[in-house]
Structure 1
């Protein structure tokens, strides 16, 4: 074993430890590896940064922009409404239809985006049909993951696969080369839940149909009273900021509006200072409000006059938000995010992944956190245009006639991209052409171009590509492959395929699925050459099996649906174990029958 191989193994071990321990975000781990490798001398500086110019990274940026444009145009909303209006009320039909649609949509946009899109739709359909969310959300989430195997641009592992094959001297797969496998996997997953969903899915008492029928106020015991009071001259509130009053912790009430000199300020910022003669709209329980007004010598009424036309049920109310994975809110406190200042809504309650409800949040927000907010419907609706939160509740929609219909130019742009790919043009230029068309057509606003790109994923891909190069340059890939060949060369092709599928699944569960692909593809290419089996087919199995992440909530989609579905780790283990076996059987069988 050479020094280069030992150094490469050392960097790999460090990466595995950091991935598993979650001491750093996955994208930061990738960047750290990218920076460390040139210092070992195993790769050059140019090779370390070559990932940023790779076809895989350029392609995924184009796919992200197109997916964002499709979602922004409202096309997905039309599809979701069509399903909502026509799917009926039978649980199995709703599950199969929404899961199939989410899976297909995942073939050309990030699967977390497809899951986020269908989550509110499932809540609406489930409420109408009196079906527990836990019976619908997990099948949809799994289908979104399975949809990531429908095309060669549907997931990070498949996108990066063609780059790895090209580096090894093999031809790339065309866009729909993996589609037969993806269709079989998606169909298998839907059939699994159709036949066995009642046995493997939980029927959470907290999320049953009776909870659906109740209002958010009743379900979460939220304050219902709006009280008006005016600040008199020489009052203790004058020149105090809302935050300094500490009224959330001390009294459990919220200032949701300020009226002064004919103008309204809704859900005022925490640093807003109060002045004499301002009229406040207070949200809270009557007993708490009385305690506050007594403490500050205020008089008012529980029959609002000034705010009655702007904060009634027609114009304002409660909504349920969830923090998705890779959200700008994740890792920030409420103060850092500025929920009131930037989004004009008032947070009133929080529900953690374990279902615990609390009224004050001082810690950093985490993916899966639910936030109950109060605000005007028009402000809550604007949150739908942001990827910071997913709005789970129905809100009063603005009049769509005021805006330009962007559905047709969005679909034309998508069709052009796919046509270019089908005519043999490279993926990067094909998808960037479609993305540029969406920008020029106004589907993607110019000030949202860069925010539409998930830069963490971009850096994850670009940072891990050099690790594969180091494995190849140092001889570590050849050494590892030879060791594996020595163990399994007499097993026969089918057991070898099963081992490859299991290795990819295992690495993906505890590391990034992209990292698993970068590590294993060079190995299986060398193994295929030793066995006389098509190396590209083995590499395809690795990239497909990297999506076999169902038994733990480590995949971003599984983490995202955990709270709204009311799931626990045991639920993923129960439903995901058999799903993983089905995935392994289908993927191995398809590769064995049609690709080797």
Structure 2
């Protein structure tokens, strides 16, 4: 009965993770509640994962990464890279993949990707080549770079923690570097040759054309006898009819309204609304429709600009609507449209819950856009402008990070203590504030990993892992141990589509360990293979790094399928045949 409960929970969790109807951390906590209620695991076993040292390692790395962002040292390095690479597209592609992959070996790959997107958009426009030729390679390189060290991805750290509890030695800091470098170099070579020819060449277009805005915008002249006169813009009759006020032309002045602006006689209002609604207001008393279609230059002036803003990985806007955020008042910018994975959302965008990788088309004063460049939660996709580089604090943070790696790698201190110490040093020296440090930690990911670690224990305790292992052995063992290993690798790659990489790995590892025991094989070989397989699926744009570049690169789903399928298959074959070389079966 317990096996049925555990496998049913797994099936339901996969569906909920894929649909995202409920947040993944809440799904994980519900699973723990059910497992404890049915007495499959005890409360101590359910929460053991949250007190593990690998949770401390992950939280500390989040803080150190944020500290490096705060000091501006990474942006300083990226600015230098962009300057060097501006000599041509080929050298740019090579250096971007090399540097982003190298940094991602020690930092969260999503953060690394987010920091490169804006400057690469700027340099691609300067060199007059499509950003779609560089952003997908950036995402792929940052993902594959994470396979080179223990701390390269949260999946590596989570699997290391799990096998440690299972009685195996934890994964060493550079234990996987040999095969990780092979994976990374092969990925680079593929993207520099075959992948480069398969990459799309999506050209830039005017923002108003790209977001299909022309047919929704019109100019309205407010006559002296209009009831709109003296009404507050955002409480006016037009706003109540769900029209969005974009600009006001008053005499020779063009400006953005705010919540205190009142409409005056003879104002020309640039408004946005549905076609049917625009037709119905033509006969409204006291207004005159001046133009049905307004092009991009009507939305811009020397002081008012259009820009695209990318929602980055740790943005506090994720899962909130534009209305809840009160975006216009908070940032002084008006959101005109939202682009999500190639689809432009044009209606009721104030009620759309924002997601990682969303692109917002905004309009506002140039000074507001300049101010937004220093915001850690958003990236302005215009010409790259480096934020303040605090050299001394940057050196302190990176020195603490490197020292933590050295002390942990040579077992002078446990990894958890060395990275925790580095994180505390970055706070005490003012490289990052305490509030920003807590904000930088991805609590949802920690809950997911801690909870899925407990679920792995439940699979062991209930016999579900043994049940699945016996089925896999009966099916694949006649074809040899390497076939069984390959089966786990393909299954892991498949499960990373509906689930996060860490969750998929933590579901498969308990079964893989039981299977290795049944085959009298090396359990470490199976664990490492599953861990690496969780990081090489590049077929779909579901990876956070891929989501971040989807909109700016104007990619389609088929672009990832075309470019990533061959590379994913090659990397799977490398894992199948090279892992047993490094860790014999």
* TM tier, smaller: 0.7 to 0.9
Q: Which residue of 2 aligns with 1:423?
A: 410
Q: Which residue of 1 aligns with 2:43?
A: 45
TM-score where L is the length of structure 1: 0.84
Q: Which residue of 2 aligns with 1:538?
A: 526
Report the CA distance between 1:251 and its aligned residue.
6.8
Cα-Cα RMSD: 3.7
Report the CA distance between 1:296 and its aligned residue.
7.1
8 Å contact from structure 1 (residues 477, 523) kept in 2: yes
Structure 1 residues 287-436: aligned runs within 5 Å: 295=286, 313=302, 317-325=305-313, 327-356=315-344, 358=346, 361-364=349-352, 365-394=354-383, 400=388, 405-424=392-411, 425-436=413-424
Structure 1 position 240 matched with structure 2 position 253:
no
Gaps of 5+ in 2: 273-277, 289-299
Q: Which residue of 2 aligns with 1:21?
A: 19
Distance 1:156 1:257, change over 3 A: farther
Report the CA distance between 1:116 and its aligned residue.
0.6
8 Å contact from structure 1 (residues 233, 276) kept in 2: no
Structure 1 position 517 matched with structure 2 position 505:
yes
Report the CA distance between 1:457 and its aligned residue.
0.9
Report the CA distance between 1:532 and its aligned residue.
3.1
8 Å contact from structure 2 (residues 119, 384) kept in 1: no
Q: Distance in 1 between matches of 2:72 and 2:265?
A: 41
Report the CA distance between 1:63 and its aligned residue.
0.9
Worse overlay, 479-488 or 453-462? 479-488
Per-residue displacement from partner, 1:416-456 (whole Å, max 9, x unpaired)? Answer: 22122123122221111111111111111233122111111
Indicate the SS of the match to 1:449.
Answer: helix
Q: Which residue of 1 aligns with 2:460?
A: 472
8 Å contact from structure 1 (residues 383, 389) kept in 2: yes
Q: Which residue of 2 aligns with 1:130?
A: 128
2:144 to 143, 146, 163: 146
Indicate the SS of the match to 2:11.
Answer: helix
Worse overlay, 545-554 or 137-146? 545-554
Report the CA distance between 1:495 and its aligned residue.
2.4
Distance 1:455 1:382, change over 3 A: farther
Q: Distance in 2 between matches of 1:487 and 1:28?
A: 35
Structure 1 position 440 matched with structure 2 position 440:
no
Distance 1:552 1:233, change over 3 A: same
8 Å contact from structure 2 (residues 224, 266) kept in 1: no
Per-residue displacement from partner, 1:327-372 (whole Å, max 9, x unpaired)? Answer: 4323322111121222222223433433537486243134333212
Q: Distance in 2 between matches of 1:396 and 1:512?
A: 33
Distance 1:355 1:518, change over 3 A: closer
Distance 1:378 1:523, change over 3 A: same
Gaps of 5+ in 1: 259-265, 298-310
Structure 1 residues 481-496: aligned runs within 5 Å: 481-496=469-484
Report the CA distance between 1:197 and its aligned residue.
2.5
Q: Distance in 2 between matches of 1:172 and 1:33?
A: 26
Q: Which residue of 1 aligns with 2:491?
A: 503
1:96 to 94, 97, 102: 94
8 Å contact from structure 1 (residues 348, 359) kept in 2: no
8 Å contact from structure 2 (residues 229, 265) kept in 1: no
TM-score where L is the length of structure 2: 0.86
8 Å contact from structure 2 (residues 105, 152) kept in 1: yes
Q: Distance in 1 between matches of 2:233 and 2:244?
A: 17
Q: Distance in 1 between matches of 2:223 and 2:247?
A: 13
Q: Which residue of 2 aligns with 1:583?
A: 571
Q: Which residue of 2 aligns with 1:308?
A: none
Distance 1:233 1:426, change over 3 A: farther
Report the CA distance between 1:93 and its aligned residue.
2.3
Q: Which residue of 2 aligns with 1:116?
A: 114
8 Å contact from structure 2 (residues 337, 344) kept in 1: no
Report the CA distance between 1:98 and its aligned residue.
0.6
Q: Distance in 1 between matches of 2:305 and 2:39?
A: 60
Q: Which residue of 2 aligns with 1:30?
A: 28
The alignment covers a number of residue pairs equal to: 563
Q: Which residue of 2 aligns with 1:456?
A: 444
